[in-house]
């Protein structure tokens, strides 16, 4: 599967998860990341992430001929590692070429 098709599929599942009030689960070699997309109109809960996005936009790291970076931004993330350790992180950028699998659902409490 081409990276672009993979990017589209991951995006579709992420949007579907949001529409069905679920989280997206993305498997990588590091473990499974469970989170959600940044809301369209994020409230003050996401001020730190919004500040980082604005900071990064102002850096302007692009060069002529650069291809767009294919990443997905998840927020309110739980990482479950292959050794079954759990880490809570506010956000993560996942590189599409590092994704092994994708689904959606909820973590059982």
Return the HEC string of 43-103: CHHHHHHHHHHHHHHHHCCCCCCCCCCCEEEEEEEEEEECCCCEEEEEEEEEEHHHCCEEE
% of the chain with per-residue pLDDT over 70? 87
Weakest mean pLDDT among 13-22, 46-55, 65-74, 79-88: 65-74
Predicted local distance difference test score (pLDDT) of residue 62: 61
User: What is the Cα 81 distance to its own chain's centre?
Assistant: 16
Predicted local distance difference test score (pLDDT) of residue 67: 61
Query: How far is the C-alpha of 38 from the C-alpha of 72, rounded, in Å?
Result: 10
- pLDDT tens figures, 33-64: 999 998 888 888 888 888 888 887 777 666 55
């Amino acid at each position: 599967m081409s990276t672009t098709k993979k990017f589209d599929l991951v995006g579709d599942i992420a949007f579907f998860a949001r529409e069905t009030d679920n989280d997206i689960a993305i498997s990588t070699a590091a473990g499974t990341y469970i989170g959600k997309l940044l809301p369209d109109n994020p409230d003050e809960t996401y001020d730190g992430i919004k500040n980082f996005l604005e900071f990064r936009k102002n850096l302007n790291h692009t060069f002529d001929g650069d291809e767009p970076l294919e990443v997905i931004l998840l927020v309110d993330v739980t990482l479950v590692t292959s050794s079954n350790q759990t880490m809570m992180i506010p956000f993560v950028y996942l590189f599409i070429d590092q994704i092994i699998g994708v689904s959606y659902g909820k973590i059982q409490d």
